[in-house]
Structure 1
Amino acid sequence: MGRPDDLVTTRKEVEQLGRRIVALQADVRDRAGLKGAVDQGLAEFGRLGVVCATRASARCTLVEGFVGGSA
């Protein structure tokens, strides 16, 4: 299971590549919490290309056409 310091490491690695990231800790079972995280990403970027919500193992999904909260 991921730890908060893993999130810090991931953020640093992405930023070292010259990219931007919104990295948040949330419970994937909490729909309102996930919506809040997505809303923060939308506020920062205007649209989202990749959303990664993980539990014990990583699973990332490319969301084609995900703009303004609709897929």
Structure 2
Amino acid sequence: MIPVGQQALLHIIVHLLFLVIAWWAMQAIHFDKWIKKGKVMQARVLYILMVISLASLASDFFLKYLQYSTNLSQLFG
């Protein structure tokens, strides 16, 4: 079992890593075509919220998968 401090550090690092990956991946989409004139600030906020949501989903999946795979040792031990 991982100590609480190490687990917290792992979660922070994974969440930040997936934020960077999600930001990088979202750069491939041209949102400029869908933005109404004069609504740039709202579009930026939406973009940031979409990146955070995507990163949160991906990092939660990764962390749960990691937890479940480490818990498999208890099945056989």
Q: TM-score, normalised by structure 1?
A: 0.30
**Greater fraction of residues in strand:** 1
**Greater fraction of residues in helix:** 2
Tell me which of the two structures has the higher relative contact order, counting C-alpha pairs closer than 8 angstroms and 6 or more residues apart.
Answer: 2
Whose radius of gyration is greater, 1 or 2? 2
